[in-house]
Structure 1
Amino acid sequence: METLKNPHQAQDDFVLPENNKPTKEPTIKLTSEQIQFFKTNGFLSIDHLIDEKEATCIRDQYDKWFAAKVGREHGNFFDLLSEDTDDKEAVAPQLLWPSIYGKIMTKFDLYDTQMYVNAYEISKSLLGDETTFKGDHAILKPPSVNSLPTPWHQDEAYWDPTFTYESLGVWVALQPVSVENGCMQFIAGSHRTSDVLPHHTQNNNPRIHGLEVDNPSDYQKNIISCPLPIGGATFHHCRTLHYTGPNCSNEPRRAYTLQFQCNTKKRDEPRLNTWNEIKTTEREKRAKESGWNLRAP
Structure 2
Amino acid sequence: MTASTTGDVVAHYQRDGFVALPRLFDAARVVEIAERIEDAGARAAERMAPGDFVLEPGGKVRNLWRLETYDEYFRELGDDPRLLETMGALLGGEPVLAAVETFNKPALQGSAVPPHQDNAYFCQQPPDMLTVWVAIDATTATNGPVHYVRDSRAELLPHKGSGIPGNSMLLADPPSYDQSRVTVGLLEPGDAMVHHCQTVHWSEPNRTEQRRTGLLFVYRAAHTRTSKDLRAQYEAAAAAYAAQQAERG
What band does the TM-score fall into relative to the shorter chain? 0.7 to 0.9
Could you say which residue in structure 1 is the equivalent of 2:169?
A: 211
Q: Could you tell me which residue of structure 2 aligns to residue 166 of structure 1?
A: 128
Q: Distance in 2 between matches of 1:57 and 1:208?
A: 25
Q: Does 1:270 align with 2:229?
A: yes
Equivalent residue in structure 2 for 1:181, among 140, 143, 146: 143
Which residue does 1:37 correspond to in 2?
12
Q: Which of 145, 154, 158 does residue 198 from structure 1 map onto?
A: 158
Q: In structure 2, what is the Cα distance between the partners aligned to 1:52 and 1:279?
A: 43
Matches within 5 A, 1:1-297: 30-70=5-45, 71-79=47-55, 88-90=57-59, 93-103=62-72, 108=73, 110-111=75-76, 113=77, 116-144=80-108, 146-160=109-123, 163-193=125-155, 196-202=156-162, 205=163, 209-219=167-177, 221=179, 222-262=181-221, 263-265=223-225, 267=227, 270-271=229-230, 272-273=233-234, 274-278=236-240
Distance 2:110 2:50 in 1: 25
Structure-1 separation of matches of 2:164 and 2:29: 38
How far apart are residue 115 of structure 1 and its match? 8.2
Q: How far 1:176 moved relative to its partner? A: 1.3
Give the Cα–Cα distance (whole angstroms) in 1 for the partners of residues 48 and 157 of structure 2.
30
- Pair 1:110–1:54, CA change in 2 (3 A): farther
Letter in 2 for 1:39: Q
Equivalent-residue separation in structure 1 for 2:2 and 2:42 (angstroms) = 33
Residues 135 and 206 (structure 1), Cα distance of their counterparts in 2 relative to 1, 3 Å cut:
closer
Q: Distance in 2 between the 1:254 and 1:170 partners?
A: 13
Question: CA 1:175 to 1:36, structure 2 compared with 1: closer, same or farther past 3 Å?
Answer: same
Displacement of 1:136 in angstroms is: 1.1
RMSD over aligned CA atoms reads: 2.8
Q: 1:48 to 1:208 in 2, by over 3 A?
A: closer
Q: CA deviation at 1:186?
A: 0.3
- TM-superposed CA distance for 1:200, in Å, is 1.8
Q: Which structure is higher in strand share?
A: 2
Percent identical pairs in the alignment equals: 21
Once the 2 structures are TM-superposed, how far is the Cα of residue 77 of structure 1 from its aligned partner?
A: 0.8
Q: Distance in 2 between matches of 1:91 and 1:150?
A: 16
Equivalent position amino acid for 1:201 in 2: G
Unaligned runs of 5+ in 2: 243-249
Q: Is the 8 A contact 2:147 2:183 kept in 1?
A: yes
Q: Secondary structure at the match of 1:258?
A: strand
Q: 1:142 to 1:266 in 2, by over 3 A?
A: closer
TM normalised by structure 1 equals 0.70
Measure how far apart 1:134 and its partner are: 1.3
Following the alignment from structure 2 to structure 1, what is the Cα–Cα distance between the partners of residues 78 and 95? Answer: 18
What secondary structure sits across from 1:192 in the alignment? coil
TM-score (norm 2): 0.82
Paired residue type of 1:110: R
User: Structure 1's 147 and 133: CA in aligned 2 closer, same or farther, altered over 3 A?
Assistant: closer
